[in-house]
């Protein structure tokens, strides 16, 4: 086998483990060696749980040998953003306020991965509390994660380590959280497939909150199949999260390879943004994506969002600021000096927002959600831009803020629809380009179907960063 173990997909590794051609111990050791070799440059991890991972791998090997195979995640390494609770393991959210916090229970998503036989490698880098103002100010207790495609560039945020780890080959699966793009933007910057499921599809229990009414956990992976495998495990009703929907979780793999022939896919080109806001590489890659799906048999029709993207951004910003302040107000009043600037700046925006503005924003959000749903239901799926530019350099703070603030993520946080970032190629400097695929509420299966058809028709999964 020419592919290094740390560059296998989940699907590939799972099949090899099931056939006993690769052992969980060998797979975990390969990832731990990879972390040791490159993570001092990438900074994707805040904590590596090597001893725990090796013990879990040995147990997985014994269970599989005894015929107790649990499924496609048995023996597969994963890592989680450091805002996920992990029982007995430090959870810092990259904040000075939480450097000594050790939870007494696991997040529901972590528990489900462990029950499926997954093996946790450690806790991943993030913006402070998984939030901020879009900038990176080098004032947190940990070095920021760096983009494996160019170590002087931004990873997107806030699931910074999740994007960096999967791209660098230091994690096979990473769990992040998305409030206004925090799964999809790191996936875009780092050339990954990043799924924000329908709001309420995955439990938030045990994840440090940022914005109660928009926070959505989701996986970042190298392939679409990998994402479908993970979501099939972590999705579902949880009595400890009142927002989770009591709906059956389908087998996302069943329709994965059925293609897009006969589908009608809406193409969102005009986002109501300023002309030229998308860079040339992403503009060209998006046009090519539309052509690829058309050639695969889909009927591609131009559609438009019901309102300019700035309207969605305004609404989600007010909600995000206000709810974040409601969560962190006590620490903001008592310990603001221990917070990084990005978090303080966001909380100050929340402090300056009136209650009537928050109520108006929630009312407007409901209107936008229903109007957006009418659009999504008029087709089988949408394709739209996601991040408008390739990852900017750390030296350009305004460009980093623009990357985070000027993108097409907020409409589908406002509406709650599932949206998945996919890699659409690379620019002249080798930096990933991106787009997103959007589906009807709770129809992640259709999103995966479109994403997989595009992935199979393009060569982008064959190209990895050089580290």
**Which neighbouring-strand residues pair with 268?**
303
Q: Locate tokens 């991106």: which residue?
A: 434
State which H helix or E strand residue 311 sits in: helix 309-335
Mean pLDDT computed over 326-355: 98
Mean pLDDT computed over 243-252: 98
Residue 119, pLDDT above cutoff 80: yes
Nearest to 367 by CA among 326, 306, 310: 306
Whether residue 158 is preceded by a cis peptide bond, meaning omega within 30 degrees of 0, is yes
170 and 42 in contact (C-beta within 8 Å)?
Answer: yes
Q: How would residue 235 be classed by pLDDT, with cut points 50, 70 and 90? A: very high
d(C-alpha 466, C-alpha 55), whole Å: 31
Structure token pair of residue 438: 């959007």
pLDDT, tens only, 138-197: 999 999 999 999 999 999 999 999 999 999 999 999 999 999 999 999 999 999 999 999
Has 346 been annotated as catalytic?
A: no
Please give the C-alpha separations between residue 367 and each of 51, 305, 323, 380, 381, in angstroms, as whole numbers.
Answer: 50, 13, 20, 22, 20
Q: HSE (CB half, 13 Å, CA atoms) of 314?
A: 11
d(C-alpha 436, C-alpha 442), whole Å: 16
Per-residue b or e along 108-142, where b marks 16 or more CB atoms closer than 10 Å to that residue's CB: bbbbbbbebbbbbbbbbbbbbbbbbbbbbeeebeb
Instruction: Catalytic residue, from 14, 23, 81, 346: name it.
Output: 81
d(C-alpha 228, C-alpha 408), whole Å: 23
State which H helix or E strand residue 360 sits in: helix 355-377
State which H helix or E strand residue 414 sits in: helix 410-415
Structure token pair of residue 142: 């940990």
d(C-alpha 446, C-alpha 451), whole Å: 9
d(C-alpha 156, C-alpha 130), whole Å: 12
191 and 221 in contact (C-beta within 8 Å)?
Answer: no
pLDDT, tens only, 72-94: 999 999 999 999 999 999 999 99
d(C-alpha 37, C-alpha 31), whole Å: 10
Burial of 401 (0-12, 13-18, 19+ CB in 10 A): middle
Has 158 been annotated as catalytic?
A: yes
pLDDT at position 232, please? 99
Q: How far is CA 129 from the centre of its chain?
A: 15
Burial of 45 (0-12, 13-18, 19+ CB in 10 A): buried
Beta strands in 45-168 (DSSP E): 45-48, 77-81, 119-124
Q: How would residue 282 be classed by pLDDT, with cut points 50, 70 and 90? A: very high
Instruction: Catalytic residue, from 182, 203, 317, 415: name it.
Output: 182
Instruction: Give the chain's domains with CATH numbers.
Output: 8-457 (3.90.1300.10)
Q: How would residue 276 be classed by pLDDT, with cut points 50, 70 and 90? A: low
Q: Helix crossing, 10-18 with 24-42: angle to 10°?
A: 150
Residue 228, pLDDT above cutoff 80: yes
Has 81 been annotated as catalytic?
A: yes
Instruction: Catalytic residue, from 9, 14, 158, 159: name it.
Output: 158
DSSP code of 140?
A: S
pLDDT at position 274, please? 65
Percentage of the chain with pLDDT > 90? 98
């Amino acid at each position: 086998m020419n592919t290094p173990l740390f560059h296998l997909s989940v699907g590939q590794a799972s099949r090899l483990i099931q056939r006993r051609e690769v052992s969980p111990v060998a797979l975990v050791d390969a990832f731990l060696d990879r972390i040791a070799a490159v993570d001092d440059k990438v900074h994707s991890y805040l904590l590596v749980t090597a001893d725990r991972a090796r013990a879990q791998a040995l147990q997985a090997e014994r269970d599989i040998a005894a015929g107790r195979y649990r499924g496609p995640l048995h023996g597969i390494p994963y890592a989680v953003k450091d805002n996920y609770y992990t029982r007995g393991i430090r959870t810092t959210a990259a904040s000075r306020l939480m450097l000594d916090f050790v939870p007494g229970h696991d997040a529901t998503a972590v528990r489900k991965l462990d029950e499926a036989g997954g093996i946790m490698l450690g806790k991943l880098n993030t913006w402070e509390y998984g939030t901020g103002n879009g900038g990176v100010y080098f004032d947190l207790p940990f070095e920021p994660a760096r983009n494996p495609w160019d170590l002087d560039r931004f990873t997107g945020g806030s699931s910074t380590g999740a994007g960096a780890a999967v791209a660098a080959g230091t994690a096979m699966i990473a769990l992040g959280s998305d409030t206004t793009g925090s799964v999809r933007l790191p996936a875009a910057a780092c050339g990954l497939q990043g799924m924000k499921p329908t709001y309420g599809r995955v439990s938030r229990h045990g994840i440090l909150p940022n914005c109660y009414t928009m926070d959505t956990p989701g996986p970042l992976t190298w392939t679409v199949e990998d994402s479908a495998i993970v979501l099939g495990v972590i999705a579902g009703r949880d009595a400890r999260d009142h927002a989770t929907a009591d709906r059956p979780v389908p087998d996302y793999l069943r329709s994965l390879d059925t293609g897009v022939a006969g589908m009608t896919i809406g193409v969102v080109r005009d986002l109501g943004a300023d002309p030229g806001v998308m860079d040339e590489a992403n503009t060209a890659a998006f046009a090519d994506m539309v052509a690829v799906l058309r050639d695969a048999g889909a009927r591609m029709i131009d559609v438009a969002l019901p309102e300019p993207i700035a309207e969605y951004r305004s609404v989600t910003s007010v909600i995000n600021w206000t709810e974040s302040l409601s969560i962190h107000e006590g620490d903001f009043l008592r310990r603001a000096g221990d917070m990084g600037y990005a978090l303080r700046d966001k909380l100050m925006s929340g402090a300056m927002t009136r209650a009537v503005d928050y109520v108006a924003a929630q009312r407007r959000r409901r209107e936008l959600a229903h109007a957006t749903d009418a659009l999504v239901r008029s087709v089988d799926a949408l394709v739209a831009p996601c991040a408008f530019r390739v990852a900017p350099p750390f030296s350009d703070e305004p460009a980093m803020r623009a990357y985070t603030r000027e993108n097409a993520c907020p409409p589908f946080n406002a509406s709650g629809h599932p949206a998945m970032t996919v890699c659409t190629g690379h620019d002249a400097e080798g930096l990933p380009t991106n787009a997103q695929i959007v589906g009807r509420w709770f129809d992640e299966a259709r999103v995966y179907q479109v994403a997989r058809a595009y992935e199979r028709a393009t060569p982008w999964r064959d190209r990895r960063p050089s580290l």
